[in-house]
Structure 1
Amino acid sequence: MRIVLGLEYRGVGFCGWQSQPQGCGVQDALEAAVSAIAGEKIGVTAAGRTDTGVHAAFQVAHFDTPTQRPLTAWVRGVNSHLPQGVAVLWAREAGEDFHARFAATQRGYRYVLLNHPVRPGLNHGMIGWHHRPLDAAVMNLAAASLIGQHDFSAFRAAECQARSPVKELRLAHIERRGDYLLCDFRADGFLHHMVRNLMGGLVQVGAGSQPPGWMREILDGRDRTRAAPTFDAAGLYLTHIRYPAHFALPESSERWLFA
């Protein structure tokens, strides 16, 4: 039997999604909790790996088990074994043709950025911050030039293990809400640190340190060393995962705080 889970987690205190020898990954916590309910050792596969400090308002994972349990057990039962900061939102049964990672056709991230002279206290670790005034309109102009299928090598981490740097960026939009900038990105897939590297460049453009056309120049140059530094992980959330319609799965969570 293949079970699909929708979950959310706070990246603070974890060393990212992926399982680690020291057991500090979100995957480690979820596998231990699922295994406790299944009564056997279970491995889980997620739609995407998030880095240390990155959050998920909506993550999807699947696992296989011969154990028969009501779907409520895979939600409330698993949650009773999870640490604070991680919660399963729903559970579904799926056929063997479903794969949390390879069946996904689109993923989305949101970067929540506080644009204020004073750093955050209450939301420390949960939002990014930039002290200089940022022009969202200029940032949108720069972001629009990146839409489409491109080689994103200039925004790719050196340790990225993706087979190809070519991705199709389908949405890049910045919306100001008071002192906050909500920066949304959707694509067929993302490279390691791609969104954080895009944010680093867009912040420079928004602050007036670079012109809007600079982002496209960096993209076309395919040289990571010419781009802006990688932006802080704190404000980054995995928010959206799309699968073919026949799987009948949600694409996002209604519990999302910054909707």
Structure 2
Amino acid sequence: MRNLLMKVNYDGTNYDGFQTQPKGNTIQDRLEQAIFHLTGEELKIIASGRTDAGVHAYGQPFNFVTSSQIPLERWCLALNARLPQDIVVTEAREVPLSFHSRRGAKRKTYRYTISANRFPDPFQRRWQLHHPVKLDISAMQQGLIHILGTHDFTSFASRKSTKTSHVRTIFEAHMEIDRTMCRSDSTDQGVIHTYITGSGFLQHMVRIIMGTLINVGEGKFQADEVAGILAACDRAAAGPTAMASGLALWSVEYDDQTNG
């Protein structure tokens, strides 16, 4: 038996999230179907975490135990031939049988993308939230600082969260602004990429953080109010849940010996 660790990129627009659901069309369903068609094995894959409907991933790790002797270098091409074009397996390697994609994850990074240009980009529309109204980006950056550290993130968790603890640690958070598509003499502000790295994330956590920061950018909240919103431990205190289209799982990190 071999434990294989793989990475998959996907455009989540047409899917009901990553994790299998009773009546859902999910990334996990498609991957398991592709593995079955390739090896004849009916198995369940283990992912580093779930993503919600409409959310994307640049490198979602997943692992599974297989008796197949297909060489490692053939797995990606073989699976991709059996997957839709919006799901692409990019890496495959063998790891110890004890490796577990979810339990072994140490740090996860999500990226949220806002197009703050006047007009949407038709080529990137599935991967961005378009916000044509002027944002105070500096205030948003100041507000983002308040989520750093270990906190109870109840204010930034879905009311449907079933986790026993909402305490999480945010290690890093920053914004990068790409102005290459800005038109001269226009109100274009560029494409804002927000990267948030943490020990783990609650349901809708990044999207609620971003919805709150957008409110800061619109002047509905002051940047320093983010600290109070966090301390309130009350979902009603925070801003709306930002659209799923702008969110992507960016990377997942493991211990050195099994760094995914």
Partner of 2:112: 111
Partner of 2:96: 95
Equivalent positions of 1:4-43 (< 5 A) are 4-43=5-44
Per-residue displacement from partner, 1:23-75 (whole Å, max 9, x unpaired)? 50000000000122222212111001000110001100000111211012321
Distance in 2 (alpha carbons) for counterparts of 1:23 and 1:182: 30
User: Cα offset for 1:120?
Assistant: 4.0
Q: Is the 8 A contact 2:155 2:233 kept in 1?
A: yes
Distance in 2 (alpha carbons) for counterparts of 1:217 and 1:18: 33
3-state SS of the aligned residue for 1:121? coil
User: Cα offset for 1:119?
Assistant: 3.7
3-state SS of the aligned residue for 1:205? helix
Letter in 2 for 1:169: I
Q: Percent identity?
A: 34
Distance in 1 (alpha carbons) for counterparts of 2:59 and 2:69: 26
Equivalent positions of 1:202-213 (< 5 A) are 202-213=213-224
Partner of 1:138: 139
Q: TM-score, normalised by structure 2?
A: 0.92
Partner of 1:198: 209
3-state SS of the aligned residue for 1:162? coil
Partner of 2:186: none
Distance in 1 (alpha carbons) for counterparts of 2:81 and 2:162: 34
Per-residue displacement from partner, 1:59-110 (whole Å, max 9, x unpaired)? 0000011121101232111111101100100101011221100000000000
How many pairs align?
249
User: Cα offset for 1:138?
Assistant: 1.4
Per-residue displacement from partner, 1:190-237 (whole Å, max 9, x unpaired)? 000000000001011112221101111100001101211100010101
Partner of 1:230: 241
Partner of 2:149: 148
Unmatched segments (≥5 aa) in structure 2: 180-189
3-state SS of the aligned residue for 1:12? helix
Q: TM-score, normalised by structure 1?
A: 0.93
Cα root mean square deviation, aligned: 1.2
Partner of 2:182: none
Q: Is the 8 A contact 1:37 1:74 kept in 2?
A: no
